[in-house]
A and B are shown apart, each in its own frame.
Chain A
C-alpha cells in the first residue's frame, strides 16, 4: 500500500476554529511523512466539504484519509461514505475528534492547537497501518417484538403491523392499555382515555 495520506481539518464554523488554529494544524500535518495533501474547510460534513474530500482523493491519488473534526459518533459514517465515494476503502480512514475532545474543553488557543496537531499526527501514523476491511451482510428476521402494551407499545405495534410486518406485543398485565386505562379524561382535548 502506497503512503499517500490526505488530511482534512474542519473549522466546524467557529466551534473548532475559535479555539484551535486549524490553518496551523493543517500546515503541521502537511509536513508529516506520508502526507501529500492537507487543507481546512469551514464545514467538512457539508456537501462542498465532502466534495473536497472526494476530489482530493482522485486528484491527489490519496490512499489514506484523516479527517479532524467532531466526535466519530456524529460523522464517522458520513465521512466513511464520502471516502468510499472517492474511490478508496472506507476503512482507510481515521477520524480525529478535535471538537468534543479539544476545542469544546479548552480555552488556551496555543495549547489547544498543539493538542490538535498531536492528535492529527497520531491518526496519520495509525492510518498508515490501516488495512482495507470488507463489509459482510447478515439476514433479517422480519418480525418485531414490542415489550409493553401501554400507549407507546400499542402505537408502535399498530404502526409496524400496518406497514405489513408481524409483531409480537408482550404485556406484563392481563390486559393491554397500560396506565392510560386508569386515566379519566385526557388533556388538552378531554377525550376519554379508553
Chain B
C-alpha cells in the first residue's frame, strides 16, 4: 500500500469514482468525480486531533462491518493510505444540522472545509485497468435455514476476519458478537451462495476452501480447548502449498464433516446445526457457540454500470468478460481496457497478484509503442449518396459518427450550397457495422464487408 502511495509515477486519487470514459485505445478521456471529503488533504497533517474530539462518535464502523464504532470524521482504518481523515456527511452533526464544527475550531492547520463540493476532473490516458474487486453474497436475503441474519452469532467469513484481526473491534481476540464471550466451539459452513443454483450462484468462489481452513486453524490455535467443525461439499486445494495448508488445519485438530447444513436453530445461548455426514451416511447434529459462513464472491456493487460507461461486456454472473478464457484472459473486447483480479471472476490473493502483473504487462506493451496500427475495417460514407438524415449518429455505440457541413456545387447553373453529410471518425469506429443497416440511402459501407461483398457471398450460396 505504502509503496503504491509513495511511487513517483503513481498519482493516487482516493474517495473518487470514474463517471465517464470517452475515446478509444491509446486516447481515452476519463472524467473522475472526487467526492467531497470536507478536509483539505494538502493542509491536513493527519495528526488525528479532530478524530479524537469529534462528538459524533457512535456511528457504525463500515470497515469493521458494523461491529465497531467510529466518529463522523475518521480514517477508513488507522493505517489508511493516505493517512488523512475525511468526514462522512451522513453522520456529521455540522453537515446534517448546521451545529457543531468542533473539528473546524481545533484543527491546527485549518484544513476542515465544510463548504467543499464534489469535484469533477478530466484526465487523458492511453490504457485502462479494471480492478474493481468483489463483494460478498448477501446470505441474509437467501438462507432462511441459517436464520436470515436474525441470530447474531451466525456471521460471515469477513466478519470473522475482523474479529481475528489485531486491528479489529476486539483487538484480535475471537469473541462472539452476541455476548462478547470467547467461543469454545465454532462451526464453519462452506459454499454459502457458491455452487448453489437454487439460492445463490452456480460457480465455485475458489478462495473459501482455503480461508475456511485458515479460520479453523486460527480457532484451534488461538482458543484453548476449542473445537472447529467444517461442513463442506468438497475440499478444493488446487494451488501451491494449499493441500499442505489444509493438512495443517487437520493436524491442528479441525473436524471436517462432509455434508450440507440444512438448519441452524438456537438452543439457549448456543446454536444447533442439523446436517448429514454423507461419508457415514447418517444425520448429525452439532451444538456450537459461533457459526461462520463462507459466502460467495460477487462482482462489486456498481461494477456493471462502470462496464456500461466504458463499453465492454460482463458475463452471466456480472463479472467482467475476458476476450478469451485461455488466450486473452486479461483483455476485454474493448481495445485498451484490461482486467485484473476478482472483477473478472472469483480469485484468491496469489491469482489476483499474478493477473494484475499480467494486465500491467499488457499496458506496458501498449504504452511502450509510439503509435498504434488501427484496424482498417471501419465504416465509410459515400457523401454523394448521404442525405444527411442523421439516423446513423445515435446508433453508433462508439460516438464515431457526426454530421458535417460540406459545400455542394449547384446543378444547372444554380449557386453552390451547404448541406450536411455523415462523417465517420475512423479512430473511434470499431467496425461493428451497426450503422450500415440504419442508412436508408446505402451511403454507409463497412470496409471489408461492403454490400457488394456480402451480395457476392449470398449469390455463391443461392445462385
Contact = CB atoms under 8 A, between A and B. Distances in A.
Nearest to A178: B133
Interface string A174-194: 111111111111111110001
A122 B461 contact: yes
Nearest to A179: B133
B450 interface: yes
Interface string A37-73: 0000000000000000000000000000000000001
Contact of A141 (B63, B124, B461): B124
A162 to B, nearest CB: 8
Contacts of A135: 373-376
Contacts of A146: 128-129, 131, 340
Contact of A161 (B9, B24, B218, B356): B9
Contact of A133 (B65, B165, B376): B376
B308 to A, nearest CB: 14
A191 to B, nearest CB: 9
A188 B245 contact: yes
Contacts of A176: 1, 4-5, 12, 14, 81
B131 A148 contact: yes
A190 B65 CA distance: 22
Contact of A154 (B1, B343, B377, B452): B1
B377 A133 contact: yes
A126 to B, nearest CB: 5
Interface stretch (B27-35, B111-119, B188-196, B197-205): B27-35
A144 B162 CA distance: 33
B125 interface: yes
A104 B27 CA distance: 39
Contacts of A136: 373-374, 376, 426
A176 B371 CA distance: 33
Given A146-B129, A155-B340, A188-B210, A129 B13 contact: no
B133 A148 contact: yes
Interface stretch (A8-16, A20-28, A105-113, A164-172): A164-172
Interface string B420-463: 00000011000000000000000000011010111011111100
Tell me the dominant secondary structure on chain B's binding face: mixed
B373 A137 contact: yes
Interface residues of B, number: 115
A189 B350 CA distance: 11
A164 B162 CA distance: 37
B171 to A, nearest CB: 12
Interface centre among A151, A162, A177 (most CB of B within 10 A): A151
Given A129-B450, A147-B306, A155 B366 contact: no
A182 B372 CA distance: 41
Contacts of A134: 376
B15 interface: yes
Interface in B2-17: 3-5, 7-17
A145 B453 contact: no
A147 B242 CA distance: 30
B360 A163 contact: yes
Nearest to B24: A138
A83 B352 CA distance: 38
A152 B366 contact: no
Interface in B324-367: 324, 327, 338, 340-343, 348-349, 352-353, 355-357, 359-361, 363-364, 366-367
Contacts of A139: 26-27, 370-372
Given A91-B376, A128-B456, A170 B133 contact: no
Nearest to A137: B371
Contacts of A125: 456-457, 459-460
Nearest to B14: A171
Contact of A147 (B77, B81, B128): B128
A173 B81 CA distance: 10
B175 interface: no
B251 to A, nearest CB: 14
A160 B123 CA distance: 17
Contacts of B369: 140
Given A125-B456, A138-B371, A150-B133, A181 B77 contact: yes
Contacts of A181: 1, 63, 76-77, 79
Interface string B210-230: 110110001000000000000
B217 to A, nearest CB: 9
Interface in B45-100: 63, 65, 75-77, 79-82, 84, 86
A36 interface: no
A173 B15 contact: yes
Given A133-B447, A185-B214, A145 B128 contact: yes
Given A144-B128, A153-B129, A172-B15, A138 B26 contact: yes
Contacts of B168: 184
A187 B210 contact: yes
B129 A161 contact: no
A174 B86 contact: yes
A154 to B, nearest CB: 4
A160 B361 CA distance: 7
A122 B457 contact: yes
B164 interface: yes
A157 interface: yes
Those 4 A-B pairs whose CB atoms lie nearest each other, nearest first = A152-B341, A159-B360, A153-B131, A175-B80
11 contacts: A126-B460, A148-B131, A149-B12, A149-B131, A152-B356, A153-B356, A157-B10, A163-B367, A165-B364, A173-B15, A188-B241
Given A135-B375, A152-B341, 20 more contacts: A122-B457, A123-B457, A126-B460, A133-B377, A138-B371, A140-B366, A141-B125, A146-B129, A151-B349, A157-B129, A160-B363, A162-B7, A168-B10, A168-B32, A170-B16, A170-B32, A175-B14, A175-B76, A180-B349, A184-B218
